[in-house]
Amino acid sequence: MVYHFYKIFLAILLTCSLLVIAKGSDTLQKPFYQVSLLTIAPGTEIYSLFGHTAIRIKNVKSEEDITYNYGTFDFNTQGFLIKFLRGKLPYQLAKAPFQNFMYEYNETKRSVSEQVLDISQEEADLILKFLENNALPENKDYLYDFLYDNCATRVRDVFNNHLPISIVDETGASKTFRNMLHEYLGNYPWTRFGIDLIVASPADKITDVQSQMFLPDYLSLHMTNATIGQEQLKKYTFMPNRQLLFFDQGQEQKHIFTPFNIFLALSILLLVLYFTKFKAVAFGILSLSFVIFGIGSMILLFMWFGTDHQTTKVNYNLIWLSPLYLLLPFLSKKFTIGLSVLLILLTIISMVGVLPQVMPTVDIYILIFTLLGLNIYFHLTNNKEDKVFID
Query: For the chain (length 391 residues), average pLDDT per consecutive 10?
Result: 47 48 45 92 92 96 94 82 81 96 95 94 96 96 93 96 86 86 94 94 95 96 85 72 88 84 91 89 90 95 94 95 92 88 92 88 82 85 50 37
**Residues 33, 40 contacting (CB under 8 angstroms):** no
Residue 3, pLDDT score:
47
Strand ordering across the sheet containing 235-236? 165-166, 227-228, 235-236
Start-end of H helices in the chain = 2-29, 80-86, 98-107, 121-134, 151-162, 177-182, 189-198, 209-212, 216-224, 259-274, 279-305, 333-351, 362-381
Rounded Cα distance between 384 and 380, Å, is 10
Q: What pLDDT was estimated at residue 82? A: 80
Q: How far is CA 126 from the centre of its chain?
A: 28
> pTM for the full model?
0.85
The single-letter DSSP state of residue 238 is B
* DSSP letter (8 states) at residue 253: P
The pLDDT of residue 17 is 47
User: Strands across the sheet with 112-116, in order?
Assistant: 141-143, 90-97, 65-73, 52-59, 33-40, 112-116, 242-245
CA-to-CA dists, residue 233 to 65, 119, 177, 237, angstroms? 31, 14, 35, 12
d(CA 175, CA 301): 27
What is the structure's pLDDT at 365?
Answer: 85
Q: Contact, 113 vs 39, CB < 8 A? A: yes
131-180 confidence digits (pLDDT tens): 999 999 999 999 999 999 999 999 999 999 999 888 877 766 789 999 99
